[in-house]
Amino acid sequence: MSERLEDIAVQMVAGGRGLLAADESTSTIKKRFDTINLESTESSRRDYREMLFRSDEAMKKYISGVILFEETLFQKAADGTPFVDIIRAAGSIPGIKVDTGAKPMAKYPGETITEGLDGLGERLAKYYDAGARFAKWRGVIAISSSLPTRGSVRANAQALARYAALCQEAKIVPIVEPECLMDGKPGDHNIDRCAEVTEATLRVVFEELADARVSLEGMILKPNMVIDGKNARKASVDEVAARTVQVLKRTVPSAVPGIAFLSGGQTTEEATAHLSAINGFDLPWLVTFSYGRALQDSALKAWNGKPENVAAGQREFTHRAEMNSLAAKGSWKKDLEKAA
Ligand code: 13P
């Protein structure tokens, strides 16, 4: 496997494959496990992730890389095989979430700044040695009638750019994720407001990336789609796709090899339908998925924390991965869901 950043970046988004975001922090995975009344422990987290990573067909055919939480990067399957080895054996690339979370931003009520820059260079060297070849940092942008502020967008974009530069020095491809929230509070903004905020945010992010001397060819962008807030949904699939493509074409240089969307609170099938419709356009980048909830929700339910349901959980995960892989090629159809 090539170690050039440009080659790794293309491998992450090419061929109809996409990323599995399995990097839920300890507090986020607890929330997910709460929905199936399962206690979150080191071994329940291991069992759940082992189910996903040992879904051979999904991992080989549809998943180009897996974003891991630090615990998982160094964790072993029940039989002692390091997860990193299982992921690599399937031809997939291990990656690592390196931010330490979005924290309330001083003097900016209702907004957050993502932390994790201190000591990041040393941490990246450790993650590289453990096998990680890409990383993720999520900046969170709140949307309301009065938010975001310029100050918060600028601060988050600067942090994303500092992170990306450090990654490239460490031979790790940065996934740059500025998420304009669909499911924040109050979540009643419409698609026009989302378009306006996403466009303004991406402009600032690419300005900061340039100032930080980040090589666009060696990064992946992970944006939100342009979509109504969670409590104001009404735009059609075609409208979401058209508005998303319009904003991205206005702001994302074609030197960026790939875009991998987050799902952000869309239902599993919506996230697939939107991605497929977006890929119906003529685009200058490879466009795929980097879904967390939209790839995992149905698998988590089917598994339900029980060893006897591992095969059922893997079937669900494989199905969603296949549907999203079709969407990454623009060839998903609703009746394929029913057929399955
Ligand atoms: P969702 O697809 O569930 O939004 O998660 C993706 C992710 O990695 C968010 O940082």
Q: Check residue 107 and give its pLDDT.
A: 98
Residues in the chain: 340
Which of ligand 1's atoms lies nearest the C-alpha of 21?
A: 8
Task: Specify the pLDDT at position 340.
Answer: 66
> What per-residue confidence (pLDDT) applies to 1?
72
Domain boundaries, the chain: 5-339
Q: Is the beta carbon of 300 within 6 A of some atom in ligand 1?
A: no
pTM above 0.95, yes or no: yes
The reply to whether 177 belongs to the active site is yes
Predicted confidence at residue 14, as pLDDT, reads 98
Q: Which residue has the tokens 């494959």?
A: 17
> Mean pLDDT in runs of 10 for the chain (340 residues)?
93 98 98 98 98 98 98 98 98 98 98 98 98 98 98 98 99 98 96 98 99 98 98 95 98 98 97 98 98 98 98 98 98 88
- Please state, in angstroms and rounded to a whole number, the distance separating the CA atoms of residues 227 and 243: 8
Q: What pairs with residue 286 in β-bridges?
A: 258
Cβ of residue 66 lying under 6 Å from some atom of ligand 1? no
Q: Whose CA is nearest to atom 4 of ligand 1?
A: 264
Alpha helices in 186-233 (DSSP H): 191-211
pLDDT given at position 2: 84
CB distance 177 to 262 below 8 Å? yes
* Residue 47 CA: distances (Å) to CA of 7, 23, 79, 213, 313: 32, 15, 11, 41, 12
Looking at the domain 5-339, which fold is it?
TIM Barrel (3.20.20)
Query: Is the minimum distance from the CB of 294 to ligand 1 under 6 angstroms?
Result: yes
Catalytic-role residue among 24, 111, 177, 179: 177
**Got the DSSP string for 247-275?**
HHHHHS-TTS-EEEE--TT--HHHHHHHH
Ligand 1 neighbour 95 (Cβ under 6 A): no
Instruction: Give me ligand 1 centre to Cα 262, in Å.
Output: 5
